[in-house]
Amino acid sequence: MNEIDTDNDLVKSKKDTRPWLRFLARKIDMLLYAVIAFFPLGVMLFLIGFLGFDDGDMEGVAFDVFFGFVFLIVMITIEAKVLSHWQNTPGKKLMGMVLVKQDGERMGFGDAFERTARMWLGGLGLGLPFISLLTQIYAYSNLKEEGSTSWDKTCKIDISHKSISKLRMSIAVGIALLAIALEYVVFYADTIG
């Protein structure tokens, strides 16, 4: 049978959307996926250098856009694979969240890929500066007002919450702060010092 079992202690209501827990879960997942994604992309960059391109060929806006696009596709694919296999992500699991399709069926890779791609577009603005800020504000407002995000509505996914311990919350906040600090170093390292 392909149905998802849910626990009796799950909470699902329009008022109980917990956007900050979702934010923490997203930061945790992004840190984990970035570590995983950087390995194949690092190999790709090594091979590009090995094939005779010099460092000057791997600079500039065009390279940044290309690398960002490849990185985004890898990140979406990793999360889709994780979601379709475990029906959850590590960050959401840590934060006591459960994703369930409204029809009760398991999320397949296609469902998970669509949800994740829509989240990156409508929730994170493809990671583009300023656009990302606007899409996150809009997604937050929509979640608070409607009780669901646009990507979860479109993909017919419900997210329920279990209660979480102070220890889990402390771990999540620590990991999220680490992710934010690493994000800052990676994207703004050339402006430091």
> Considering the domain boundaries, does residue 162 fall inside one?
yes
User: Does residue 10 fall inside a structural domain?
Assistant: no
Predicted confidence at residue 157, as pLDDT, reads: 93
Contacts of 122 (CB under 8 A, 6+ apart): 135, 138, 139, 149, 150, 151
Domain assignment present for 9: no
- Range of 132's domain? 19-181
| Residue 156 domain flag | yes
**Per-residue pLDDT tens digits for 111-165:** 999 999 999 999 989 888 889 999 999 999 999 999 899 999 999 999 888 888 9
Say how many domains are in the chain. Answer: 1
Q: C-alpha angle 21/183/93, rounded to 5°? A: 30
In whole angstroms, how far apart are CA 16 and each of 52, 145, 170? 55, 11, 20
- Domain membership of residue 186 (yes or no) is no
Residue 48 located in a structural domain = yes
Cα distances (angstroms) measured from residue 75 to each of 25, 39, 54, 116, 163? 15, 12, 27, 9, 28
Q: How confident is the model at residue 178 (pLDDT cuts 50, 70, 90)?
A: confident
The pTM of this model reads 0.77
